[in-house]
Amino acid sequence: MTRAVSVLHGASLGAGFALLEGLSSFIHPGLGPDARSGEVLVGVVAWAIGGALLGAAPQGRRLVPLGLLLAVSAHAGTVLGLPWLAPIVLLGCFPLVLRPRLLSFVALVSACVPSSLRDVRAEPLGGTGEDLVLITVDTLRADAELGLTGAWTRCDEAIAPAPWTLPSVYGLMTGSAVRHHQGGLRAGTGYTVADEGLVRLPERFPDHARGAFVHNPHLRAELFGRGWDRFEQADTWRAPLLLQHSLGRWSERLELGPDPVRQRRDEALAAAAEAWWEGAGDGRLLWLHLLGPHEYRRSGNGSRAAYDAQVERTGRLVDELVRSLDADRVVVTSDHGERIEGPSPGHGKDLADDQVHVPVWISGLVECSGQVALIDIESWLRGEVPDATVVELGGVRADPQAFEARAEGGTRLERSAPSIRALVDEPDATWVERLEALGYVDE
How far is 417 from 294, CA to CA, in rounded Å?
29
Distance, C-alpha 408 to centroid of its chain: 34
How far is 55 from 49, CA to CA, in rounded Å?
10
The predicted pLDDT at position 441 comes to 46
The predicted pLDDT at position 19 comes to 86
Instruction: Write the single-letter amino acid at 146.
Output: L
How much is the pTM? 0.82
In a 13 Å sphere around the CA of 248, the CA atoms on its Cβ side amount to 20
Q: 179-238 pLDDT, tens per residue?
A: 999 999 988 888 999 999 999 999 999 999 999 999 998 999 999 999 999 998 887 777
Q: How far is CA 22 from CA 41, 68, 104, 112, 244, in A?
A: 9, 15, 18, 9, 11
The predicted pLDDT at position 256 comes to 62
The percentage of residues in the chain with a pLDDT greater than 90, rounded to a whole number, is: 43
The predicted pLDDT at position 303 comes to 85
The predicted pLDDT at position 260 comes to 63
Which helix (H) or strand (E) segment holds residue 270: the answer is helix 265-279
How far is 264 from 260, CA to CA, in rounded Å?
7
The predicted pLDDT at position 188 comes to 81
Q: 317-367 pLDDT, tens per residue?
A: 999 999 999 999 999 999 999 999 777 788 999 999 999 999 999 998 778
End-to-end CA distance of the chain: 57
**Alpha-carbon dihedral angle through residues 78, 443, 31, 277, given to the nearest 10 degrees:** 160
The predicted pLDDT at position 262 comes to 67
Domains of the chain: 3-116 (no CATH), 132-437 (3.40.720.10)
Residue 426's beta-bridge partner residues?
none
In 20-146, DSSP assigns E strands to 132-137
Chunked in runs of 10, what are the mean pLDDT values of the chain (443 residues)?
81 86 76 73 86 84 84 76 78 81 85 70 67 97 94 92 96 96 89 93 94 93 93 80 70 63 82 88 92 82 88 96 94 96 85 95 84 94 89 93 92 89 74 64 45
